[in-house]
Chains A and B, each alone.
Chain A
Amino acid sequence: KQEVTQIPAALSVPEGENLVLNCSFTDSAIYNLQWFRQDPGKGLTSLLLIQSSQREQTSGRLNASLDKSSGRSTLYIAASQPGDSATYLCAPCTGTASKLTFGTGTRLQVTL
Chain B
Amino acid sequence: NAGVTQTPKFQVLKTGQSMTLQCAQDMNHEYMSWYRQDPGMGLRLIHYSVGAGITDQGEVPNGYNVSRSTTEDFPLRLLSAAPSQTSVYFCASSFQRNTEAFFGQGTRLTVV
Contact = CB atoms under 8 A, between A and B. Distances in A.
Interface residues of A, number: 23
A70 to B, nearest CB: 21
Interface residues of B, number: 26
Interface string A39-72: 0001111100100000000000000000000000
B48 interface: yes
Contacts of A43: 4, 90, 103-106
Contact of A93 (B41, B59, B98): B98
Contact of B59 (A4, A99, A103): A99
A35 to B, nearest CB: 11
A103 B41 CA distance: 7
Interface of A: 4, 31-32, 34, 36, 42-46, 49, 89, 91, 93, 97-105
A89 B101 CA distance: 13
A42 B42 contact: no
22 contacts: A32-B98, A36-B103, A42-B105, A42-B106, A43-B104, A43-B106, A44-B90, A45-B103, A46-B100, A49-B100, A89-B43, A97-B56, A98-B31, A98-B94, A100-B35, A100-B43, A101-B42, A102-B35, A103-B42, A104-B41, A104-B42, A105-B42
Contacts of B103: 36, 43-46
A98 B100 CA distance: 11
Contacts of B43: 89, 91, 100, 102
